[in-house]
């Protein structure tokens, strides 16, 4: 699983190598690349404030490149900017902006390729197709950066932080907005995403594909096309994140597709169209989460199996649970449901009768979506009351045998 001291390992490997000379760089055509070419391995370049109209800047040796008051490296909306091919490089304190767009090349403000122990921190990445692009790299840290773009659609734009075929990455405390996906992982393992803010991205705040043994912790995903998609992965830990106002026709707090053996715990879901959508998921533990004012708190497809839902609070959701199947091979236990109207005669703090969180109207809308236009009508109230007396449509196995009488304190 994840390396607990990942950031310590990365910093240790960079900081305790022999220190070189300090070299000052001032604005001028070609000055930055020329200085890099002439520098010795281990040198520190202080890039002074100003405008540097340079592009395809190759960093092929261990250097620290440090900006003084955010000097601007501008690609003129035509070119890529930094291309890092050496281990143990540090890039910090720069304003990297205006890459080009191309259907042939993923143009990035800062690209890491086939490297390890690189640190990219405290940079402004403005209006780039891809902000930071990592390819086949390991033990790298992306820290405290701001990546801002103005993407309008998915086709002609890239991701804020994009990682492909990497391992042991630390993505921490970045702010990402206006990209296709805020953070994108494909074939990335043993990595950690924490304390990031990903907002107003066109597609997903965070997108996982074929990426296992990863964790994302204490992030905020707000007002994205959808919050997070985790697909074709296993052993993913999702802990203490906020999913807020990911709202639209096909918007989710979390979209889970073909994942297994993972944890979703102590997260806060509020005002999402669907808080969690699950398809082809197995052995996921969903525990101690808050589901508040969502359209659907949970949409669980019939292809899901052996998932456990326990200790969660469900309140003020239009629908708590919906499913498209007649069988339920998952377990709900000791959750709080604000719609539960049972009783507790033995005073053990759990209801004496089970709670069935799927309403008949939720079943009908899964099968015939157009019936949503009747939501909150007198007809739907009658349907729910009849189903309570003569249950026939709701999956019998989908129930919470020990519903809590009071909500859990999950603070």
For residue 243, name the pLDDT band (cuts at 50, 70, 90).
very high
CB 90 within 8 A of CB 100: no
Whole-angstrom distance, CA of residue 176 vs CA of residue 188: 19
Same domain, 157 and 255: no
What pLDDT, on a 0 to 100 scale, did the predictor assign at position 206? 96
Residue percentage of the chain with pLDDT more than 70: 86
For residue 411, name the pLDDT band (cuts at 50, 70, 90).
confident
Angle between helices 378-389 and 360-367 (to 10 degrees): 110
Closest CA to 213 of 231, 236, 187: 236
Same domain, 337 and 212: no
Q: Is residue 97 part of a domain?
A: yes
Coil/strand/helix, residue 338 = coil
Same domain, 353 and 408: yes
CB 93 within 8 A of CB 125: no
CB 355 within 8 A of CB 399: yes
- The model scores a pTM over 0.85: yes
What pLDDT, on a 0 to 100 scale, did the predictor assign at position 47? 97
Same domain, 202 and 240: no
Q: Is residue 387 part of a domain?
A: no
Whole-angstrom distance, CA of residue 154 vs CA of residue 204: 10
Q: Is residue 31 part of a domain?
A: yes
Judge whether residue 257 has pLDDT over 50: yes
For residue 37, name the pLDDT band (cuts at 50, 70, 90).
very high
List Cβ neighbours of 30 (8 Å cut-off, separation of 6 or more).
Answer: 54
Q: Is residue 378 part of a domain?
A: no
Q: Is residue 370 part of a domain?
A: no
Strand ranges inside 235-301, DSSP E: 236-239, 242-244, 252-265, 268-270, 274-279, 282-287, 290-292, 296-300
- Mean pLDDT for the chain overall: 89
Same domain, 404 and 340: yes
Judge whether residue 13 has pLDDT over 80: no
The structural domain count of the chain equals 2
Lowest mean pLDDT among 26-30, 169-173, 272-276, 350-354: 26-30
For residue 28, name the pLDDT band (cuts at 50, 70, 90).
confident
Provide the token pair at 200. Answer: 């107003």
Same domain, 113 and 184: yes
Same domain, 173 and 261: no
Judge whether residue 272 has pLDDT over 70: yes
Whole-angstrom distance, CA of residue 69 vs CA of residue 71: 6
Same domain, 168 and 256: no
Instruction: Look at residues 221, 241, 274 and tell me which one is the last residue of a structural domain.
Output: 221
What pLDDT, on a 0 to 100 scale, did the predictor assign at position 16? 45
> Parallel, antiparallel, or unpaired: how do β-strands 108-113 and 204-209 relate?
unpaired
Judge whether residue 179 has pLDDT over 90: yes
Closest CA to 316 of 341, 334, 290: 290
Q: Is residue 366 part of a domain?
A: no
Q: State the average pLDDT over residues 159-165.
A: 98
For residue 390, name the pLDDT band (cuts at 50, 70, 90).
very low
Coil/strand/helix, residue 361 = helix
The residue range of the domain holding 324 is 225-358+395-411
Q: Is residue 178 part of a domain?
A: yes
Instruction: Look at residues 195, 221, 247 and tell me which one is the last residue of a structural domain.
Output: 221
List Cβ neighbours of 123 (8 Å cut-off, separation of 6 or more).
Answer: 67, 91, 92, 93, 94, 95, 96, 110, 145, 146
Whole-angstrom distance, CA of residue 350 vs CA of residue 346: 9
Closest CA to 165 of 203, 200, 133, 206: 133
Instruction: Look at residues 221, 244, 271 and tell me which one is the last residue of a structural domain.
Output: 221
Same domain, 54 and 189: yes
What pLDDT, on a 0 to 100 scale, did the predictor assign at position 19? 72
Provide the token pair at 9. Answer: 């390992």
Q: Is residue 354 part of a domain?
A: yes
Provide the token pair at 24. Answer: 């000052």
pLDDT in tens, 54-71: 999 999 999 999 999 999
Same domain, 190 and 266: no
Same domain, 207 and 229: no
From residue 258, give the alpha-carbon distance in Å to each of 209, 231, 281, 303, 335: 10, 6, 5, 9, 25
Lowest mean pLDDT among 180-184, 219-223, 285-289, 397-401: 397-401
CA angle 145, 147, 148 (to 5 degrees): 145
Please identify which residue in the block is written with the tokens 């990035």.
Answer: 108
Q: State the average pLDDT over residues 176-199.
A: 97
Provide the token pair at 40. Answer: 């010795």
Q: State the average pLDDT over residues 386-397.
A: 55
Report which of residues 17 and 286 the model is more confident about.
Answer: 286
CB 152 within 8 A of CB 178: no
Whole-angstrom distance, CA of residue 159 vs CA of residue 201: 9
Whole-angstrom distance, CA of residue 152 vs CA of residue 165: 27
CB 126 within 8 A of CB 96: yes
CATH number at residue 11: 2.160.20.10
Same domain, 140 and 204: yes
What pLDDT, on a 0 to 100 scale, did the predictor assign at position 97? 98
């Amino acid at each position: 699983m994840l390396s607990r001291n990942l950031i310590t390992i990365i910093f240790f490997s960079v900081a305790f190598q022999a220190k070189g000379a300090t070299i000052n760089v001032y604005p001028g055509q070609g000055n930055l690349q020329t200085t890099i070419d002439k520098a010795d391995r281990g040198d520190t370049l202080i890039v002074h404030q100003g405008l540097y109209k340079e592009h395809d800047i190759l960093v092929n040796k261990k250097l620290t490149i440090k900006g003084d008051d955010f000097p601007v490296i501008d690609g003129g909306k035509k070119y890529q900017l930094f291309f890092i091919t050496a281990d143990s490089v540090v890039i910090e304190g720069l304003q990297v902006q205006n890459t080009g767009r191309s259907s042939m090349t993923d143009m990035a403000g800062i690209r890491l390729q086939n490297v390890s122990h690189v640190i990219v921190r405290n940079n402004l990445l403005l209006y780039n197709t891809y902000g930071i692009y990592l390819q086949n790299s390991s033990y790298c840290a992306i820290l405290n950066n701001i990546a801002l773009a103005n993407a309008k659609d998915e086709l002609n734009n890239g991701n804020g932080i994009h990682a492909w075929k990497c391992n042991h990455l630390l993505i921490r405390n970045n702010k990402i907005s206006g990209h296709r996906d805020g953070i994108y992982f494909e074939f990335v393992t043993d990595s950690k995403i924490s304390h990031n803010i990903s907002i107003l991205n066109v597609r997903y705040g965070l997108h996982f594909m074929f990426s296992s043994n990863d964790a994302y912790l204490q992030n905020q995903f707000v007002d994205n096309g959808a919050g997070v998609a985790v697909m074709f992965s296993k052993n993913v830990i999702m802990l203490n994140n906020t999913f807020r106002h990911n709202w639209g026709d096909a918007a989710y707090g979390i979209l889970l597709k073909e994942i297994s053996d993972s944890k979703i715990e102590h997260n806060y879901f509020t005002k999402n169209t669907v808080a969690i959508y699950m398809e082809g998921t197995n052995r996921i533990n969903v525990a101690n989460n808050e589901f508040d004012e969502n359209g659907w708190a949970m949409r669980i497809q019939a292809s899901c199996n052996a998932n456990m839902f326990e200790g969660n609070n469900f309140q003020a959701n239009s629908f708590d649970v919906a499913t498209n199947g007649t069988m339920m091979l998952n377990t709900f236990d000791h959750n709080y449901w604000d719609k539960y109207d049972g009783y507790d005669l033995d005073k053990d703090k759990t209801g004496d009768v089970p709670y069935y969180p799927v309403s008949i109207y939720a079943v009908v809308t899964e099968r015939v979506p157009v019936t949503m236009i009747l939501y909150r009508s007198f007809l739907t109230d009658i349907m729910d009351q009849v189903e309570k007396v003569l249950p026939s449509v709701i999956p019998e196995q989908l129930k919470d045998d020990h519903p809590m009488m009071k909500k859990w304190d999950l603070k």
